[in-house]
């Protein structure tokens, strides 16, 4: 791992960090899902170990792709592995924890975890603008997850369709599946649903759903849902919601929306901030945000080229 370039190590750290959203619990060892969850932490630890150096030797804003992922995961708490030792001992501690965790892994579980990790390659294709390649990988990952009994395999189809629909400028195909989600979990994907309704021409229904929506939870997917809320507010000309979105999103300027999840990506947050500024009547600020968005896109494009070296 030591020979990896800094940007490659950053990508590995990003994926590892995204996997570390759980906490160790002694009681968890008795659960039926313990082995698979333990492997999740193990794979995350391996990637953290590989990428840790880039995080400790550079500012977050200098990390490119990985920096955006790490920034959004700053709320994640330390995770314990094996006998319960926290991942806080640097590269050697993470590797030691990974080695203990690998003792619990089976081939089937490893295959399942690698399928989850494959979604990050789809993210890279989206960043390159190769949407057909990304769509193929997402579909393969979803099918593999469903085949292995992973509960969120079918959900990945909707999530990936959100990414691709955003990139293509049309979410209307998601109205039916999202209406079923909305019926049982109204807050789960409410703002993507609003945009899907808008794209399908169901403006009154879109407004009705938007008005009823609760505030977005500050969880792992906040950076995704807030850009959907922002675009929905612009479409519906809700100035109060646009102002709130702009204020909330400003701290995420110079990042890529969604990339902190490790499985999806949408656009430079500054692109949406520019749209909000324009809609709120501030073209000068909008132009500044567009310049930042262009700079970030160029920086990421350069890093993507480097990954192919």
Single pTM value for the model: 0.69
pLDDT per residue as tens digits for the range 140-166: 888 887 877 766 777 888 999 999 999
Residues 6+ apart with CB under 8 A from 48: 12, 13, 16, 17, 20, 87, 94
- Angstrom CA distances, 16 to 204, 228, 245, stand at 42, 26, 29
Q: Which of 87, 98, 70 is nearest to 11 (CA)?
A: 70
Q: Which of 128, 126, 160, 127 is nearest to 141 (CA)?
A: 160
What is the gyration radius of the CA atoms in the chain, in angstroms? Answer: 20
Q: What is the pLDDT along the chain (309 residues), one digit of tens a residue?
A: 433 344 444 444 444 444 444 443 445 444 444 444 444 444 444 444 344 333 333 333 333 444 344 333 333 323 322 323 333 344 344 334 434 443 444 455 555 566 666 788 899 899 999 999 999 999 988 888 787 776 677 788 899 999 999 999 999 999 999 999 999 999 889 999 999 999 999 999 999 999 999 999 888 789 899 999 999 999 999 999 999 999 999 999 999 999 888 889 999 999 999 999 999 999 999 999 999 999 999 999 888 887 765
pLDDT at 145: 79
d(CA 64, CA 11): 9
What residue segments make up the domains of the chain, in order of their start?
6-105, 107-161, 162-307
């Amino acid at each position: 791992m030591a020979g990896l370039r800094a940007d490659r190590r950053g990508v590995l750290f990003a994926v590892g960090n995204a996997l570390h959203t759980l906490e160790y619990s002694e009681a968890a060892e008795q659960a039926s899902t313990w082995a698979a969850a333990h492997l999740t932490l193990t794979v995350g630890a391996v990637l953290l170990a590989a990428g840790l150096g880039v995080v400790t030797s550079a500012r977050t804003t200098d990390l490119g792709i990985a920096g955006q992922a790490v920034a959004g995961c700053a709320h994640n708490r330390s995770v314990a592995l094996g006998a319960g030792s926290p991942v806080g001992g640097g590269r050697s501690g993470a590797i030691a924890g990974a080695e203990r965790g690998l003792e619990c892994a089976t081939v089937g579980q490893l295959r399942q975890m690698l399928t989850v990790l494959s979604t990050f390659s789809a993210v890279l294709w989206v960043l390159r603008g190769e949407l057909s390649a990304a769509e193929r990988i997402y579909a393969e990952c979803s099918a593999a997850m469903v085949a292995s009994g992973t509960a969120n395999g079918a959900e990945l189809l909707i999530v990936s369709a959100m990414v691709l629909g955003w990139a293509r400028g049309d979410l209307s195909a998601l109205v039916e599946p999202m209406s079923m989600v909305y019926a049982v979990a109204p807050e789960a994907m409410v703002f993507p649903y609003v945009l899907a309704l808008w794209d399908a021409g169901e403006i009154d229904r879109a407004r009705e759903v938007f008005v009823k929506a609760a505030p977005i939870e500050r969880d792992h997917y906040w950076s995704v849902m807030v850009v959907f809320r922002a675009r929905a507010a612009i479409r519906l000309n809700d100035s109060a919601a646009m102002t709130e979105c702009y204020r909330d999103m400003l701290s995420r300027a110079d990042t890529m929306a969604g990339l902190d999840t490790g499985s999806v990506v949408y656009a430079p947050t500054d692109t949406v901030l520019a749209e909000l500024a324009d809609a709120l009547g501030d073209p000068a600020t909008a132009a500044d945000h567009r310049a930042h968005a262009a700079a970030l896109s160029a920086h990421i494009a350069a890093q993507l080229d480097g990954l192919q070296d």
